[in-house]
Structures are given as C-alpha cells and as structure tokens.
Homo-oligomer: A and B are copies of this chain.
Amino acid sequence: MTQNIYDDPGFFQGYSQMPRSIGGLDAAPEWPALKAMLPPIQGLKVVDLGCGYGWFCRLASEQGAGSVLGLDVSEKMLEQARKTTSAANIQYARADLEHLDLPTNSFDLAYSSLALHYIKDLPGLFGKIHAALKPGSRFVFSIEHPIFMAPRNPGWITDAEGRKSWPLDSYQMEGERVTNWLADGVIKQHRTIGTLLNALIAAGFTIQHVNEWGPSDTEVVAQPALAEERERPMMMLVGVQR
C-alpha cells in the first residue's frame, strides 16, 4: 500500500498546524481556482479521494450534495473529519487509493486535493475513477506540480539582487522523490505533465481545464509570501470529463 505518512505522529502534528488544516478551503490559496472548475454540487453523488480533515466533504454536504463519500488512508484524518460533522449525507471510510474499490457508474463528481502525487499506480487509479463515475460527470483534482517535485534539491536560489529562481533538474526522471516535509522520508511520485495527462486520456477522460496555479496581483498584495509562487508553479489543477 501507499506510505501512510499522515499517521506518523510528527507528520500529523505538523500537518494539523498548517493554515489549510486549521482554516480549511479558504486558507488554501488555490481554492478559488479549483472551485471555479467544479460543477454545481446540489444533488450530486460526490467522492473525495484523500479527504483529509473533510473540509471539501462538508462544503459539498452543505451545498446539498445527494451524498458525499470521503476516503482517506489515514485513520487520524478520518477521526478528525468524523468529529466535525453529523450530516446525514456524508460518509467517511478508510481506503488505500492504490487499491481503490468503488461501485461502477455511481458518482457524479470525483474530487481530490493534493493526494495523487503519493500514488504509484496512477493509471490504475484513473481507470477505477473513470469506472466509478457516470458518463458525462467530472473529475477535478489538484496535484503537486512536476516542476516543484522533480529537483534533487527542491529549494530556492536567491541571487545578489534578492531574486529567486528554482533550480530545476531531473524532470524526465520519473519515479520516487523523498523529501523531509513535516517528517523525514516522505515519498512522492514524480511524473511529467505529459505522463499525467496522457494517463487521464488513456483512462478515457477528456481534458477540460489545466491550471498551473499562481497567485494574482491582488493575492500577492494580501499575502506577500505568495510572491514566490509566480516564479514556478507548485500545484496543478486539472478538470476532466468522463
């Protein structure tokens, strides 16, 4: 199964203190762009792959989703998620996305936030998501950007004038990247944008929208720390149709 770093006590402790863990969707700078890619949720059967604390599940529930299934590999995450809601249309369940087992032709929307870069067999997962969705429905997700993930030494270089650049290398070498983010030895799977998109197409999806998220000028004024995100993308948001 996938490394379950979220149940590592140190990692979980660090993660629980991140702005997006405390503040939810509105504390995630990419959320407005991701939200704009979603269909109206009223009445839809929704599945959230890697639901974490369940922020999106609760939003979907509040927006009148027919049902929301939040899946995560982390028991700790699910425990937190369950504590925060008693809504009748939400169900949380433990699932390893490497071995997903969903009923076919059952969902109107699949959603995933920053989880898919942990998955080894992404073509396999895409095939299962495609099968689980009803024809015409959407799959919208965010994933770490390959530019962010590829380098041997992922960190900024600052020049004499204080300008930052991101030393990219190893872009074509797909496979494991081990970083020490919140805990030592976090394993992610690097693949190129081409590989990612071709896997979606091979699974039967039609690409609808690709957003390599970066902040607007207004967002940089409000949160100056976001300025560096204009130099290289950290996330990709992708919307596809089944």
Known: A206-B206, A209-B198, A233-B192. A166 touches B164 (CB 8 A): no
| A179–B171 alpha-carbon span in the complex (Å) | 23
B207 touches A172 (CB 8 A): no
* Interface locus among A11-19, A101-109, A224-232: A224-232
- Binary B-proximity of A211-224 (CB < 8 A = 1, otherwise 0): 11011000000000
| A168–B229 alpha-carbon span in the complex (Å) | 12
B230 touches A210 (CB 8 A): no
Do most interface residues of chain A lie in helix, strand or loop, or is the interface mixed?
A: mixed
Q: List 9 A-B contacts (CB under 8 A).
A: A157-B167, A166-B168, A167-B168, A169-B231, A171-B231, A172-B215, A172-B231, A194-B209, A197-B207
Which residues 155-210 in A have Cβ within 8 Å of B in the complex? 157, 163-173, 192-194, 197-198, 201, 206-210
Closest Cβ neighbor of A146 among chain B residues: B212
- Binary B-proximity of A65-85 (CB < 8 A = 1, otherwise 0): 000000000000000000000
Task: Judge if A119 is at the interface, Cβ distance under 8 Å.
Answer: no
Shortest A206–chain B CB gap in Å is 6
A167 touches B167 (CB 8 A): yes
Shortest A23–chain B CB gap in Å is 24
Closest Cβ neighbor of A172 among chain B residues: B214
- Binary B-proximity of A139-151 (CB < 8 A = 1, otherwise 0): 0000000010001
Pick from B153, B172, B211, B232: contact of A194, CB under 8 Å = B211
A197 touches B210 (CB 8 A): yes
Which residues 79-117 in A have Cβ within 8 Å of B in the complex? none
Chain A: residues with Cβ within 8 Å of the partner, total of 37
Shortest A75–chain B CB gap in Å is 35
Pick from B201, B208, B210, B231: contact of A170, CB under 8 Å = B231
| A173–B192 alpha-carbon span in the complex (Å) | 21
Known: A147-B147, A173-B230, A230-B173. A194 touches B210 (CB 8 A): yes
| A211–B199 alpha-carbon span in the complex (Å) | 12
B194 touches A201 (CB 8 A): no
| A27–B148 alpha-carbon span in the complex (Å) | 32
B197 touches A201 (CB 8 A): no
Enumerate the 5 nearest inter-chain pairs by beta-carbon distance, A residue then B residue, closest first: A172-B214, A165-B167, A165-B169, A172-B230, A169-B231
